[in-house]
């Protein structure tokens, strides 16, 4: 059963059949350009297991994305509590990672709008945040399309990232009240 449904997508729990296409996208250097390295098959499977375990325990999380018209797994989008300390934590993050073949169709923004609505309407959160390395223009564009605002005062060096080129992160915020105005709900 899908957890969330949009016009073109299901945001659902992870299935065994997602593992191969997930490993493929995690092994793609372009998809993983803003991360330390592409993931091995084992690391990718382990991540899928972790994301599904979080959904099973909380009832929500970083959901697998399925394109409704084809049944294809195309990546993930969803919500997670931050798991490190920074000036803006504790907080709830909205995040996304899609296969390159699924870029340029608006899928990340469509899925993120559903996840943001879930955060505000079902979880009653006051605010969600998103962050990424400074030069991840595509991810920052998704944040802007969602109506998120760049809060420069809280840009930060990610404590888990060791590589200089990837350490500086930008912080974006979306308040429940603003989301309702932007999305019209």
Ligand X SMILES: CC(C)(COP(=O)(O)OP(=O)(O)OC[C@H]1O[C@@H](n2cnc3c(N)ncnc32)[C@H](O)[C@@H]1OP(=O)(O)O)[C@@H](O)C(=O)NCCC(=O)NCCS
Residue 99, both tokens: 């296969």
Site string for ligand X, 109-128 (x = CB under 6 A): x-------------------
One residue of 97, 113, 154, 173 binding ligand X per CB under 6 A: 97
Contact (Cβ atoms closer than 8 angstroms) between residue 154 and residue 88 = yes
Q: For residues 11 and 142, which CB has a smaller minimum distance to ligand X in the complex? A: 142
92-117 exposure pattern, b = at least 16 Cβ within 10 A, e = fewer:
bbbbbbbbeebeeeebbbbbbbbbbb
CB contact at 8 A, 171 and 93: no
Q: How far is the CB of 29 from ligand X (least distance, A)?
A: 11
Residue with tokens 């294809």: 72
Residue from 13, 138, 158, 168 in contact with ligand X (CB under 6 A): 138
Comparing CB distances to ligand X, the nearer of 142 and 148 is: 142
44 binds ligand X, rule: CB under 6 A: no
Of 25, 94, 26, which is closest to residue 60 (Cα–Cα)?
A: 94
Question: Among the candidate windows 40-48, 49-57, 131-139, 153-161, which touches ligand X by CB under 6 A?
Answer: 131-139
Q: Which of 6, 26, 136, 179 binds ligand X (CB under 6 A)?
A: 136
Positive or negative, the CA dihedral 153, 138, 132, 108 is positive
Pick one of 2, 27, 38, 106: the residue that binds ligand X (CB under 6 A): 106
CA 62 to CA 48: how far, in whole Å?
A: 10
Contact range with ligand X by CB under 6 A, out of 42-50, 116-124, 130-138, 158-166 = 130-138
Cβ nearer to ligand X, comparing 45 with 110: 110
Q: What angle do CA 174, 177, 183 make, to 5 degrees?
A: 75
Q: Is 142 in the site for ligand X (CB under 6 A)?
A: yes
Catalog residues that contact ligand X under the rule CB under 6 A.
31, 34, 95-98, 103-109, 132, 136, 138-139, 142, 145
């Amino acid at each position: 059963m899908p957890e969330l449904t949009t016009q073109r997508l299901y945001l659902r729990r992870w299935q065994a059949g997602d593992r191969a296409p997930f490993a493929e996208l995690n092994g793609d250097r372009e998809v993983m350009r803003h991360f330390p390295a592409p993931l091995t098959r084992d690391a990718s499977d382990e991540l899928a297991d972790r994301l599904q375990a979080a959904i099973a325990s909380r009832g929500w999380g970083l959901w697998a994305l399925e394109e409704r018209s084809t049944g294809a797994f195309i990546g993930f989008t969803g919500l997670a509590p931050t798991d490190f300390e920074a000036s803006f934590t504790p907080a709830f993050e909205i995040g996304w990672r899609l296969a390159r073949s699924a870029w340029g169709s608006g899928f990340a923004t469509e899925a993120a709008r559903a996840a943001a609505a879930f955060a505000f309407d079902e979880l009653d959160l006051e605010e969600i945040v998103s962050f990424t390395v400074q030069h991840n223009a595509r991810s920052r564009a998704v944040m802007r399309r969602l109506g998120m605002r760049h809060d420069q005062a809280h840009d930060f060096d990610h404590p888990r990232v060791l590589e200089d080129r990837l350490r500086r992160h930008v912080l974006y915020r979306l308040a429940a009240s603003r989301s309702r105005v932007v999305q019209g709900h």
